[in-house]
Chain A
Amino acid sequence: NAGVTQTPKFRVLKTGQSMTLLCAQDMNHEYMYWYRQDPGMGLRLIHYSVGEGTTAKGEVPDGYNVSRLKKQNFLLGLESAAPSQTSVYFCASSKETLGSNEQFFGPGTRLTVL
């Protein structure tokens, strides 16, 4: 099993450009999450999904959109990138949200917006 994979690993954008980050998991998890991590800080939740076809806003959703058309994929879109969106983006998935079911994280995508 590959676990949680993220594409791409690195990306540099110019202000105003758009891009999509892809997260894929092969563990048949229902729950998926997108976080951003700014230097020296913890992770902040952008958007999340509790199942195929459903998405919801997290703590810092502005400037981002998401889609979960297939259970195994969770896409994060930036329509018009801004320098404030320079960050490391982590995707995570979880089988359930009870008990000791931890979130499994992808390796991260380092995004720089110039």
Chain B
Amino acid sequence: AQKITQTQPGMFVQEKEAVTLDCTYDTSDPSYGLFWYKQPSSGEMIFLIYQGSYDQQNATEGRYSLNFQKARKSANLVISASQLGDSAMYFCAMREGVAGKSTFGDGTTLTVKP
């Protein structure tokens, strides 16, 4: 079974609008971390936001927020006020275990339209 599922291969959003990128995960470990990374066309991996499994509140970092629904095992990324520079591939990842091994989803390509 897939540990991380991103069901949207591609998404389009109008500039200045908000967009939600979906991520569901599967684990039996009570302690885990969820991360979102951005990969622009230049190829580097950029950390965006983190949510811990025991965190009571949804994480926020500037225009990024994470809609964490633990019972549904979902960790959707919300980008508010989209900018042209947000066009990139976005990866959801889950970290488990003491070694911090991470599993990545297959990503969602976001295109922001002017």
Chain A residues near B (Cβ < 8 Å): 31, 33, 35, 40-45, 48, 50, 56, 58-59, 88, 90, 92, 94, 96-97, 99-105, 107-108
Contacts and interface: CB of A to CB of B under 8 A. Distances in A.
Contact of B100 (A88, A94, A100, A108): A94
Residue in A45, A56, A97 with the greatest tally of chain B CB atoms within 10 Å: A97
Nearest to A45: B101
Interface residues of B, number: 24
B21 interface: no
Contacts of B52: 99-100
Interface string B65-105: 00000000000000000000000000101010111111111
A64 B36 CA distance: 27
A50 B99 contact: yes
B29 interface: no
Given A41-B106, A45-B103, A107-B43, 17 more contacts: A41-B107, A42-B106, A43-B104, A44-B104, A48-B99, A48-B100, A48-B101, A56-B99, A58-B101, A88-B43, A92-B45, A96-B100, A97-B100, A101-B100, A103-B102, A105-B37, A108-B43
Contacts of B33: 99-100
Sort A-B residue pairs by CB-CB distance and give the 3 closest, nearest first: A97-B100, A42-B104, A105-B45
B4 to A, nearest CB: 7
